[in-house]
Structure 1
Amino acid sequence: MSRRPLLLIVLLLCALAAGNVLAQDDLRVLRLGYTEEPDMLVDYTSNTLLGWSMFRLHSQPQWGTTQQQEIVPLLIDEAPSYDNGGIVITDEGTQVIKFTIADWAVWSDGTPITAADFVLPYEIANDGVSQVLAFRMLGGLAGSVAQGETEKDVVVTFDAPNPDWQYAAIVPLPNHILREGYEADLANGIGFELNSWVRQPTVSNGPFVFAEWVTGSYLRFVKNQNYWKDVWFDEVVLNFYSDVSVLEQLMVAGELDMTRYILPASRAAELVAANDFLDVRTSFGGVRLELEYNQGPNGHPALKDQRVRHAMSMGIDRQFMVDEIYNGIAEVANTWWAGTPWYNPDALMLPFDPAGAVELLREAGWYDEDGDGVAEAHGVDGVEDGLPLEITATTYADIQHYQDSLLYVQDVLADIGIKMNITLHTIAEIHGSFTNNSPLATGQYDAYLVAWVPGVATVATFGPYYCTDIPSEANPFGLNGPQICNERVDELWTSLSVSLDQAEREAAADEIQVLMAEDLYTQYLVNILYAATYNKRLVWEASDVSDFTPWLNIADWHYEE
């Protein structure tokens, strides 16, 4: 027996033992499996998908949205609208949104939820010390959150009309628990991201409450006894496995109920075909692989040349990636909006042409003269002759198909004379802050194979490429780690969130796609389907494309009778 199968058996036995401890016979336990561990459980200070997702497992905003973009009241009885006076555009051009917290809406400790709980996260986001991601509060738009006439009334004001106001959901924080400690920390220059609450939120308003986190092993939530509706499961346990093969074997053994987005849709389909008690659901939430090229001072000088970036694109066969890495269950992408109603087919899509790529590199002054297979600089302005076209790259250590994709890119770039050295980091590390020495935020690599999750609910998604959003000590959570900058793109992207003219917004998205496809500071590769692999005994519903509530209906999840 080889060492690897033996190791997998040992890991599997250990995982089964742990699962038996957690899934006690007298409890209904929903068992989820991941190869990724969240960085924290309150996403105002987290830039990871799992951190964002976990926040909404234990706490909910005032309302959620369905996959049809319909509002679902969660902590309120009635959603605001222009008809009921809950939404008003003032003579000064501001937009005011008012809502009233329901009397039955309480925290898990029984304390009523009030306006102060909505004001607190707004204050944290604007205190000048806490490292809060701008787009986590009011979508990054200028505005304010305040108490209305009573402690149950909340008033959200946008400095300009927000065409997508329905996505202005705010997940409250328990003011009665956090206020005193937060203000004491703030007085000492300590931001909210260092508060133990972000990893141990022991009071919540959702169907489940944090109970226990054993780092590297599992994360456990228990039923909120004060939730406003019945909850079928007694506990939710997220189990973490460093080897995706162990996760797959536990799914096959019936020891896990679900894994979401870790397995690509193609692999999930294979498991389902071989095990009739498993099933898979797929959806597209705007997730696409992109290869971002470092334009900052640490980036390889060759990547500053558009011809080199175009040559790299011509050296990558995206259709091969779809067919071979994702077994056809994916699609080629070339823009941020590929696969959505706002895709612009006029955006440049360079063909797979390795020979043409080599010629373009030669035109740019990069070709292999010494016969070692790696192109060197020859007469490139500002670059010493003989500098090899050798770049560094990273992707996620905790999701296998990203690694497979980057290994493919490494192979095909070698065919055109570009050597790529790969180092892996976890999702939490890559998408961490400048302060925490994140590889992306601090520009440690020449190329980053990453994925953002913009959603598909509206054309006005967040934008990770603003010139003003380059990470620094003053802006530690800036999203623009590769330091991409096109001021026209910034102008157009801003208009997406403030224009009330849908045609104008779509025209802006069209132009952005044309400009970015020409610049090619980032190379979009493949649209990835969001796959949930699950045991058929689990009856469940989710809102995967919703911007705010992926666990909208988890209180109703149950085992089939």
Structure 2
Amino acid sequence: YTFTEWNVGNFIRFDANPNYTLGQPKIGTLLIRFFGDDETYVNSLIAGEISIATFFDWSYAPRIEEAGITVQAIPSGYNEGWVFNTGENGHPALDDVNVRKAVALSFDKLAITEDLFYGATYPGSSFWEATPFANPDLEGYGYDPEMAAQLLDEAGWVDSNSDGTRDQDGVELVLRFVTNTRPIRAETIGPIVQQQLGEVGILVELVSYPSDQYFGGYAENGPIATGQYDIAEWSSAPGSFPDPDVRAFRCDEIPTPDNPSGSNWSFYCDQALTDLFIEQQQETDRDTRIALFHEIDQMIYDAAIWISIWFDADSWAVAANLSADVNGVSPFWDVQNWDISG
């Protein structure tokens, strides 16, 4: 397609390129329209004014499907997850893997996906969810407050002073849950985390920052990069998705004054895990690389340093009269073969 018009605030127009190397596209003109709010966007889709839509709120999915329009959850590489701070600025309880597991088991992730996303997505088990690199034998950390309480008891975190918060050696189990100011995290998820972890004796302090500050690097004194948190939540993806390579779990990526660009904001170091990440980078056989990632995935899961909260797929809706194959890497990759009827 060739760019032919940009009507600022309304649409961008592309017309079929008759000289395209793979043949002339079947649809003569594409209009990419802009909408100021989801309600207008979805109403236009249902009314047949547009044929394909993406990035609408999942709460609209039932209405869209009732109109006979197919709703799809398309993998984007992103997964909403918790990162635990195992560094020197984190709570000492989080040095214990069983405490990290207990925290994960204290939060009802399935209820979140059912209530907020209408079951359109789900709590995952892998940083590489819904790809061949995800270990198929893993099951996500479910909601089991009784097991969480047992793990905390066994780890020596008990409420010795009857104030409602577990403690050990005079240290209260008070965790900072830190997010950006995006409403779904700061205003919806945060209070639920505070309530549910409180039910097992973990006091949660809620802290949020504007995104530019929240995601600031070590040199910018970003709160996550400098370890000013205990649990942090955001959506992550491999930097070169669909390639699975990630550096954020490696020892050599821990940020320091000498390594301010480091991306390992959990400050967790397992040299064996780092070695596997380096090995997969150098591996050219796909099946061998997949096997290495399954091993990596198992180690991350067992260490409970990153916990999937939900599989963060993109929302797409395709009208019944449109034949279009989309994906989360490059939605228009096959656009020359899209076709519309009626």
Counterpart selection for 2:128 from 322, 327, 337 = 337
Task: Give CA-to-partner distance per residue, 1:302-330, whole Å, 9 cap, x none.
Answer: 11111211211222233333333332222
1:464/1:253 CA distance change after superposition, 3 Å: same
Query: Whose Rg is larger?
Result: 1
Task: Give CA-to-partner distance per residue, 1:274-324, whole Å, 9 cap, x none.
Answer: 7x4976442122322211001122211111111211211222233333333
Deviates more, 1:348-357 or 1:439-448: 348-357
What residue in structure 1 maps to residue 307 of structure 2? Answer: 523
Q: How many residues end up aligned between the 2 structures?
A: 321
Structure 2 matches for 1:416-427, cutoff 5 A?
Answer: 416-427=200-211
Q: Give 3-state SS (helix, strand or coil) of 2:149's partner.
A: helix
Shift of 1:345: 3.8
Could you tell me whether the CA contact under 8 Å between 2:235 and 2:312 is conserved in 1? no
Deviates more, 1:410-419 or 1:315-324: 315-324
Shift of 1:469: 1.5
Structure 2 matches for 1:323-402, cutoff 5 A?
Answer: 323-347=114-138, 349-350=140-141, 352-377=143-168, 379=169, 385=170, 387-398=171-182, 400=184
Shift of 1:261: 3.6
* Greater RCO (Cα-Cα under 8 Å, separation 6 or more): 2
Q: Establish whether residue 503 from structure 1 lines up as the match of residue 253 from structure 2.
A: no
Q: Establish whether residue 306 from structure 1 lines up as the match of residue 97 from structure 2.
A: yes
Could you tell me whether the CA contact under 8 Å between 2:93 and 2:173 is conserved in 1? yes
Deviates more, 1:518-527 or 1:472-481: 472-481
Could you tell me whether the CA contact under 8 Å between 1:262 and 1:399 is conserved in 2? no
Residue identity matched to 2:328: V
Q: TM-score of the superposition, structure 1-length normalised?
A: 0.49
1:558/1:248 CA distance change after superposition, 3 Å: farther
Instruction: Find the aligned partners of 2:142 and 2:73 in 1 and give their Cα distance.
Output: 29
Task: Give CA-to-partner distance per residue, 1:176-222, whole Å, 9 cap, x none.
Answer: xxxxxxxxxxxxxxxxxxxxxxxxxxxxxxxxxxxxxxxxxxxxxxx
What residue in structure 2 maps to residue 414 of structure 1? Answer: 198
1:526/1:539 CA distance change after superposition, 3 Å: same
Counterpart selection for 2:107 from 298, 313, 316 = 316
What residue in structure 2 maps to residue 296 of structure 1? Answer: 87
1:338/1:273 CA distance change after superposition, 3 Å: closer
Instruction: Find the aligned partners of 1:29 and 1:503 in 2 and give their Cα distance.
Output: 42
Task: Give CA-to-partner distance per residue, 1:407-447, whole Å, 9 cap, x none.
Answer: 43332211111121222334443333223332222222111
1:551/1:560 CA distance change after superposition, 3 Å: same
Could you tell me whether the CA contact under 8 Å between 2:106 and 2:196 is conserved in 1? yes
Residue identity matched to 1:269: A
Q: Give 3-state SS (helix, strand or coil) of 2:205's partner.
A: strand
Between the aligned residues of both structures, percent identity stands at 22
Q: Give 3-state SS (helix, strand or coil) of 1:503's partner.
A: helix
Shift of 1:481: 1.5
Q: Give 3-state SS (helix, strand or coil) of 2:77's partner.
A: coil
Shift of 1:231: 7.7
Instruction: Find the aligned partners of 2:135 and 2:292 in 1 and give their Cα distance.
Output: 11
Could you tell me whether the CA contact under 8 Å between 1:278 and 1:533 is conserved in 2? yes
What residue in structure 2 maps to residue 489 of structure 1? Answer: 273
Residue identity matched to 2:92: P
Could you tell me whether the CA contact under 8 Å between 1:286 and 1:453 is conserved in 2? yes
Shift of 1:403: 5.2
Could you tell me whether the CA contact under 8 Å between 1:272 and 1:280 is conserved in 2? yes
Instruction: Find the aligned partners of 2:242 and 2:60 in 1 and give their Cα distance.
Output: 28
Counterpart selection for 1:463 from 244, 247, 254 = 247
Q: TM-score of the superposition, structure 2-length normalised?
A: 0.76
Shift of 1:560: 9.8
Shift of 1:533: 5.6
What residue in structure 2 maps to residue 131 of structure 1? Answer: none
Instruction: Find the aligned partners of 2:287 and 2:336 in 1 and give their Cα distance.
Output: 39
Shift of 1:465: 1.4
Could you tell me whether the CA contact under 8 Å between 2:128 and 2:244 is conserved in 1? no
What residue in structure 1 maps to residue 74 of structure 2? Answer: 283
What residue in structure 1 maps to residue 230 of structure 2? Answer: 446
Shift of 1:263: 2.2
Structure 2 matches for 1:127-146, cutoff 5 A?
Answer: none
Could you tell me whether the CA contact under 8 Å between 1:280 and 1:531 is conserved in 2? yes
Query: How much is the aligned-residue C-alpha RMSD, in angstroms?
Result: 3.9
What residue in structure 2 maps to residue 13 of structure 1? Answer: none
Instruction: Find the aligned partners of 2:211 and 2:320 in 1 and give their Cα distance.
Output: 31
Q: Give 3-state SS (helix, strand or coil) of 1:531's partner.
A: strand
Could you tell me whether the CA contact under 8 Å between 2:181 and 2:211 is conserved in 1? yes
Instruction: Find the aligned partners of 2:151 and 2:251 in 1 and give their Cα distance.
Output: 28
Structure 2 runs not aligned, ≥5 long = 1-6, 14-19, 23-27
Q: Give 3-state SS (helix, strand or coil) of 1:367's partner.
A: coil
Shift of 1:531: 0.6
What residue in structure 2 maps to residue 270 of structure 1? Answer: 62
Residue identity matched to 2:39: Q
1:232/1:338 CA distance change after superposition, 3 Å: closer
Task: Give CA-to-partner distance per residue, 1:74-108, whole Å, 9 cap, x none.
Answer: xx989xxxxxxxxxxxxxxxxxxxxxxxxxxxxxx
Shift of 1:507: 2.3
Structure 2 matches for 1:158-197, cutoff 5 A?
Answer: none
Structure 1 runs not aligned, ≥5 long = 1-19, 31-75, 79-229, 240-246, 380-384
